[in-house]
Amino acid sequence: MKNCRTRNYKTQMEAAKKGIVTPEMETVADKENMDISRLMELVACGQVAIPANINHKSLSPEGVGTGLKTKINVNLGVSGDCRDYTMEMQKVDMALKFGAEAIMDLSNYGKTNTFRRQLLEKSTAMIGTVPMYDAIGYLEKDLMEITPQDFMRVVRAHAEEGVDFMTIHAGINRRAVEAFRRSGRKMNIVSRGGSLLFAWMEMTGNENPFFEFYDDVLEILREYDVTISLGDALRPGCISDSTDAGQIGELIELGHLTKRAWEKDVQVIVEGPGHMALNEIAANMALQKRLCHNAPFYVLGPLVTDIAPGYDHITSAIGGAIAAASGADFLCYVTPAEHLRLPDINDVREGIVASKIAAHAADIAKGIPNARDIDDRMAEARNDVDWDRMFDLAIDGEKARDYFESMPPEDKHTCSMCGKMCAMRTTKMILEGKKVELYAAQ
């Protein structure tokens, strides 16, 4: 094993294959309390990705994949109907405050590179983008006028700016489209990038440029050590469409593209559903791991029911917890505004917390070392009725404190729900040999 401070490798995967310990590997091993040799083995075989663009100088690297804590991603960015970059930067602050490991800039209006550069300068979290979203604004061309070379220009621009991972919808090729057409879906294509590529393919009569020129994409990503996040253009948009021929057909293509990327030493994350009934989630996680050779799996939800607009952070957290406990490595948050509008700062907070809860619950379930330690400390604080310690340990301590202080109890060693009948108080007094007198205390 070599420890190398001069970079004689292109990507984290290449370094791992050569037995070189990178500074990014050292950081991740320390965060995960994992032996560096074991981490390097997982990076070398593709089961762990460390997205770390050579130009993202403020990054605090994170690992995504086998044996590591479940990571969460926060989506943000401007749209044509909401162009307030100041609010988007407030969302960035919120994401960093709550410890989100990744932020995806999904801006799809105007010249987005100024915001993205500010984001990269500020963010210690890894940054992801979807170049397909940015193509029309960046190139100032309508969809049908964009050439495959134009798409490559956008990919290179994002890589040069410092983006750590990019969603590339390379799997929606002509074979996958045929399977989609046969499936007879209720909701067709719900991926924004996937629908744009499908439209481009149909209007031009050409193959998906990200599939046809996949080697060119990989060369760009390898140059800057950008991780490819293979987008699921045919993910289900309702539970009726889950696990259909379109979704699985594309997943087979993504497995093939995963191996091709690894051959070029480009790290891979594979994206997954979507909307899916509870009883299908575990099987889908196992299927992805099998078809995509245990590459890290990144899921949006899955949302386990379609009838909860305004509460989809909850439907997503339910599905996300099951997915991560069953093998998913990376959860994309969903806010209460999903399916309704661009989320505001409060929506972002609710989405982050729900996703953090799901990720942490899954880490406990799959036995991530030390994951349960903080829960044990919370149990001790509750037993001692130590409110300040409880608030410090809580995922959202500010909200917990606000709730407690909004209706304060007479006795600080209780809360306003139980008062003198607090079970902790009663049991502790009896164990200490004291008498419990409730009526006199009323």
Residues 234 and 103 grouped into a single domain: yes
What is the model's pLDDT at position 5? 59
- CATH code (residue 211): 3.20.20.540
**Is the residue at 26 inside a domain?**
yes
What pLDDT shows up at residue 59? 98
Q: Would the pLDDT of 108 be above 80?
A: no
Express as a percent the part of the chain with pLDDT over 70.
96
Same domain, 18 and 67: no
- Res. 73: pLDDT tops 80: yes
Alpha helices (H) along 50-147: 85-97, 113-122, 131-139
Query: Which residue ranges make up the annotated binding site for substrate?
Result: 75, 104, 133, 169, 191-193, 232-235, 271, 298
pLDDT digits (tens, 9 = 90+) for 6-40: 689 999 999 999 999 999 999 999 999 999 999 99
Tokens linked to 396: 């959202």
Same-domain check for residues 273 and 148: yes
Q: 37: phi > 0 → left, psi -120 to 50 → alpha, else beta; which?
A: alpha
Last residue of a domain, one of 344, 365, 386: 365
Residue 391: inside a domain, yes or no?
no
Quick: pLDDT tens for 290-335.
999 999 999 999 999 999 999 999 999 999 999 999 999 999 999 9
Helix (H, G, I), strand (E, B), or coil: what is residue 433? Answer: coil
Domain extent, residue 265, equals 51-365
What pLDDT sits at residue 60?
98
Concatenated DSSP letters of 183-194? H--SS----HHH
In a domain, residue 170? The reply is yes
DSSP state of 333: -
Q: Which residues contact 126 (CB under 8 A, 6 or more apart)?
A: 51, 52, 56, 59, 61, 62, 101, 102, 103, 164, 165
State what percent of residues in the chain have pLDDT above 90: 84
Which is more confident, 263 or 421? 263
User: Average pLDDT of 42-51?
Assistant: 98
Q: What is the pLDDT of residues 234-290, one digit of tens each?
A: 999 999 999 999 999 999 999 999 999 999 999 999 999 999 999 999 999 999 999
Q: For residues 62 and 85, what is the distance between their CA atoms, to the nearest angstrom?
A: 26
| Annotated binding-site members for Zn(2+) | 275, 339
Residue 174 has pLDDT above 70, yes or no: yes
Measured CA angle at 264 (ends 246, 223), to 5 deg: 110
Beta strands in 40-159 (DSSP E): 48-49, 64-65, 71-76, 102-105, 126-129
Higher-confidence position of 81 and 232: 232
Task: Tell me the H-state helices in 237-372.
Answer: 245-263, 278-291, 312-325, 345-365
**Inside any domain, residue 381:** no
Q: Residue 284 in contact with residue 232, Cβ under 8 Å?
A: no
Give yes or no: residues 218 and 237 share one domain: yes
Length of the chain: 442
Report the chain's C-alpha Rg in angstroms: 24
Top pLDDT among 52 and 80 is at 52
CB count, 10 Å around CB of 286? 12
Q: Does residue 434 form part of some domain?
A: no
- In the chain, the number of structural domains is 2
* 174-179 contact pairs (CB < 8 A, 24+): 174/201, 174/207, 174/208, 175/249, 175/253, 176/233, 176/234, 176/246, 176/249, 176/250, 176/253, 177/201, 178/249, 179/234, 179/245, 179/246, 179/248, 179/249, 179/250
Tokens 């029911």 locate to 305
* Binding-site residues from annotation: 75, 104, 133, 169, 191-193, 232-235, 271, 275, 298, 339, 415, 418, 422
In a domain, 379, yes or no: no
Q: What does the alpha-carbon distance between residue 310 and residue 345 come to, in Å, rounded to a whole number?
A: 15
Q: What is residue 415's predicted lDDT score, i.e. its pLDDT?
A: 82
| Residue 271 falls inside a structural domain | yes
Question: Are 79 and 15 in a shared domain?
Answer: no
Mean pLDDT, the chain, whole residue set: 94
pLDDT digits (tens, 9 = 90+) for 189-210: 999 999 999 999 999 999 999 9
Report the predicted TM-score, pTM, of the whole model to 2 decimal places. Answer: 0.94
pLDDT at res. 80? 62
Asked if residue 442 has pLDDT above 60, the reply is no
Mean pLDDT to the nearest integer, 412-417: 80
Residues annotated in a binding site for [4Fe-4S] cluster: 415, 418, 422
